[in-house]
Structure 1
């Protein structure tokens, strides 16, 4: 049996995002999500996760959005104390990697403090793939014995799905597209970003209206039928790895 993980990033970003993710889990095909422990909607997301234990929830490690959990950083924050934007990392950058390690460990520990058990690790804006930062990411995954998203080359000691797909609308468009993702894989993760829109999202995120398209897709009868027709594919979470 092939294993399909449909994972929603940004759980905890805001109440609107949280409710969208939960609707896609309860009334659609979503099976997994990753949690932003530093964002204003984190406590709300934790409450929803505890009420819906069937949803696999991992930690979405953040370095480019909102404010850090720890207050003593010097190189990974700007003058106002907020995380630097992704653009900072897209050219030559100089940061203290110990700050990344300490902040990300604090984010994982914040998640654990809610009484939740993480299923895996990934990162916001795929910042885990950047030079130097990738080593911190792999170190923490090993320390906490957690599977990870396969969005880069990984050491052999870390569990991960066989394949990672970026484009949920393409993969779930029909049976042939879905089965095509499994040509060389037994386990596939498909990333998505469903959510409703509130002021926090519209004012703070560069990805807004497409979240509504993804939400509609994941709760559609058409996609449900695609999965039913692919009888060799089972929806699951990172816990099954």
Structure 2
């Protein structure tokens, strides 16, 4: 069998994102998500997580979106917002590691103190894998004893205490037919499923692979604050489609989340 975790980023970003993720879990193949503690939909996402205890929920650490939960002055622009990713790259050297660490701890603590049993951690825009943040990532993993998403070969660059041996990491949806908004999934199902099959072909037997997705519905928060918005609706349709689930079964895919998968290796 092939062991797969299908994880949705950005839980808590907004109500529309929250309900797209929950639909993909309740009616589809989604098994896991990571929650943004600093975004407008956070409280709602926490409640939805409690109402859906079989959904694995981790923390989606944020440094490049929204506003911080701490008062770290080196982390924000003149309006008190985190720098966007393109700005972050220009100002990261002026940020203090102590303030980043404190902010990420505050985000995790908020989720834990809200009653969530976190399964794992990752980060918005994968910033936990950036070389300048690796020491902070190691401190976070040690403090909370949680595994981090192994994006961009993180485990080859850093020893972390609680990893699950998840060697594979793939984006399940970022391909031409799936991203084509001139045709619906229903109109172009065969091409979309062929792209998903190509990803499943990369999953190794008896190893664990995480497949990243971004299902969502669209509201003003998502539409006006994220450049990646309408395309997410198609991911909900794909994850909930019976032929997608048949394709997973045909490929001998066993679905897990970080909390119920046994470590490998």
Superposed pair shares fold, TM > 0.5: yes
Q: Distance in 2 between matches of 1:139 and 1:185?
A: 30
**Matches of 1:185 and 1:225, distance apart in 2:** 20
Q: Distance in 2 between matches of 1:185 and 1:206?
A: 37
CA distance in 2, matches of 1:13, 1:29: 21
Q: How far has the Cα of 1:128 moved from its partner?
A: 1.1
Out of 139-148 and 196-205, give the one that drifted further.
139-148
Q: 2:80: which partner in 1?
A: 81
The two structures have a TM-score, normalised by structure 1, of 0.93
State the superposition RMSD in angstroms.
1.9
More deviation in 175-184 or 92-101? 175-184
Q: List per-residue Cα deviations over 1:105-148 (Å, max 9, x = no partner).
A: 00000001110110000000111122321221222012111111
Query: What is the 5 A alignment of 1:38-53?
Result: 38-53=38-53
The worse-fitting range, judged by mean Cα deviation, of 177-186 and 103-112 is 177-186
In structure 2, the residue corresponding to 1:132 is in which secondary structure? helix
Q: Structure 1: which 5+ runs fail to align?
A: none
Determine if contact 1:162/1:187 at 8 Å carries over to the other structure: yes
Instruction: State which drifts further: 35-44 or 123-132.
Output: 123-132
Give me the TM-score of the superposition, normalised by structure 2. 0.85
What is the SS of the residue equivalent to 2:3? strand
Q: Report the CA distance shift for 1:158/1:220 in structure 2 as closer, same or farther (over 3 A).
A: same
Which sections of structure 2, spanning at least 5 residues, go unmatched? 179-191
**Residue 69 of structure 2: aligned partner:** 69
2:229 maps to which of 202, 208, 212? 208
Question: CA 1:126–1:67 in structure 2 vs 1: closer, same or farther (change >3 Å)?
Answer: same
Alignment of 1:12-161 (within 5 A): 12-71=12-71, 73-91=72-90, 93-94=92-93, 95-151=95-151, 152-154=153-155, 155-156=158-159, 157-160=161-164, 161=166
Runs of 4+ in 1 over 4 A off after TM superposition: 169-172
SS state at 1:225 partner: helix
Mapped to 1, the partners of 2:201 and 2:67 lie a distance apart of 40
Inter-partner Cα distance in structure 2 for 1:74 and 1:111: 23
1:146-225 alignment to 2 at 5 Å? 146-151=146-151, 152-154=153-155, 155-156=158-159, 157-160=161-164, 161-168=166-173, 173-174=193-194, 176-183=197-204, 186-225=207-246
With over 3 angstroms needed to count, the CA separation of the structure-2 counterparts of 1:213 and 1:93, relative to structure 1, is: same
Task: Kindly indicate whether the alpha-carbon contact (under 8 Å) linking 2:3 and 2:205 is maintained by their aligned counterparts in 1.
Answer: no
Q: Secondary structure at the match of 1:153?
A: helix
Q: Counterparts of 2:75 and 2:163 in 1: how far apart (Å)?
A: 28
Structure 1 contact 8–192 (Cα < 8 Å) conserved: yes
Q: What is the total number of aligned residue pairs between the two structures?
A: 239
